[in-house]
């Protein structure tokens, strides 16, 4: 379980873990066939307007690439800043002091000292909160299409699952997810939900192997809606029944 002494390492791991998705998102967006066509058109326009200037063609194309990168960065940076100012601002109060919430870290022995190399959080929620969110995000899609609980309608949401780069491919992400699932069983939750952005292919694959299924997809992020369209980033909601 998280301890106050872990704060510095957890914050550093969290920020690096979120912002590292910027480059994969950028390369995925820039290689999209539609974006390639737009880049070629803009470069050609620069070439013509510049009087057959290759420099201007390159400049116009670079500006388009820069815009895509800015949108990708703003999406993840906005999410990171939003969480740092809310639940991550006081992990003990927002996760450990609430019975339905939890926060755990994975430690490794590095040069004789324990170092935080992974983390995961769980927040308990009510069914009504998810219905309202689905109605807003899916713009009219009936929320009854998604998983329903037979008991009191409560469910749990997993977030902040991050593993340090040097400690990946060691099944650590799966262990952290199983820890979250065990906690949900203890607390009586009937399902666990996680939101992942489309560039997070490794996390999506891991969740699928653990039995999570995609329940919804939307393009609403913490950034300007147009940024999500330019970056071609979608948010996938995956769910596992417990």
Secondary structure of 99-154 in HEC code, one letter for each residue:
CCCEEEEEEEEECCEEEEEEEEEEEEEEHHHHHHHHHHHCCCCCHHHCCCCCCCCE
Higher pLDDT, 93 or 143: 93
Q: Looking at the predicted structure, is the pLDDT value of residue 234 above 60?
A: yes
Strands 191-197 and 154-163, bridge-based pairing: parallel
Mean pLDDT calculated for residue range 186-214: 94
Higher pLDDT, 140 or 128: 128
Q: Looking at the predicted structure, is the pLDDT value of residue 131 above 70?
A: no
Mean pLDDT calculated for residue range 14-35: 94
- pLDDT band at residue 110 under the 50/70/90 scheme: confident
Element counts in the chain: helices (H) and strands (E): 9, 6
Share of the chain above pLDDT 70, in %: 89
- pLDDT band at residue 139 under the 50/70/90 scheme: very low
pLDDT of residue 149: 45
Mean pLDDT calculated for residue range 30-39: 91
Mean pLDDT calculated for residue range 60-73: 94
Contact 217, 138 (CB under 8 A): no
By C-alpha distance, which of 36, 86, 97, 88 is closest to 65?
A: 36
- pLDDT band at residue 130 under the 50/70/90 scheme: low
CA distances from 103 to 38, 47, 143, 196, 204 (A): 44, 54, 29, 18, 21
CA atoms of 145 and 215, how far apart (whole Å): 9
Share of the chain above pLDDT 90, in %: 69
Mean pLDDT calculated for residue range 203-219: 94
Q: Looking at the predicted structure, is the pLDDT value of residue 152 above 80?
A: no
CA atoms of 27 and 35, how far apart (whole Å): 11
Of the candidate ranges 4-13, 65-74, 124-133, 143-152, the one whose mean pLDDT is the lowest? 143-152
Whole-number mean pLDDT of the chain?
A: 88
DSSP state of 31: T
pLDDT tens digit string along 153-178?
689 999 999 999 989 989 999 999 99
H or E element, residue 180? helix 172-187
Q: Looking at the predicted structure, is the pLDDT value of residue 105 above 60?
A: yes
Q: Looking at the predicted structure, is the pLDDT value of residue 228 above 80?
A: yes
- pLDDT band at residue 128 under the 50/70/90 scheme: low
46 Cβ neighbours under 8 A, 6+ residues apart = 53, 56, 57, 58, 59, 60, 61
């Amino acid at each position: 379980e998280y301890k106050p002494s872990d704060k510095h390492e957890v914050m550093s791991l969290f920020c690096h873990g979120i912002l590292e998705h910027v480059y994969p998102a950028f390369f995925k967006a820039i290689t999209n066939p539609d974006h390639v066509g737009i880049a070629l058109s803009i470069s050609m326009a620069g070439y013509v307007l510049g009087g057959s200037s290759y420099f201007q063609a390159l400049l116009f194309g670079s500006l388009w690439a820069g815009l895509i990168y800015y949108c990708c960065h703003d999406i993840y940076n906005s999410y990171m800043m939003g969480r740092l100012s809310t639940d991550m601002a006081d992990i003990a109060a927002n996760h450990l002091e609430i019975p339905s919430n939890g926060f755990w870290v994975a430690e490794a022995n590095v040069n004789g000292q324990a170092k935080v190399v992974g983390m995961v959080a769980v927040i308990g929620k009510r069914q009504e909160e998810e219905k309202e969110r689905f109605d807003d995000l899916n713009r009219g899609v009936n929320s009854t299409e998604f998983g329903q609980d037979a008991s009191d309608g409560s469910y749990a949401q997993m977030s902040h699952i991050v593993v340090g780069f040097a400690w990946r491919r060691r099944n650590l992400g799966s262990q952290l997810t199983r820890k979250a699932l065990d906690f949900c069983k203890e607390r009586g939750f009937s399902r666990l939900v996680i939101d992942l952005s489309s560039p997070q292919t490794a996390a999506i694959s891991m969740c699928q192997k653990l039995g999570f299924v995609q329940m919804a997809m939307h393009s609403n992020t913490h950034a300007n809606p147009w940024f999500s369209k330019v970056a071609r980033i979608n948010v996938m909601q995956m769910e596992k029944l417990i």
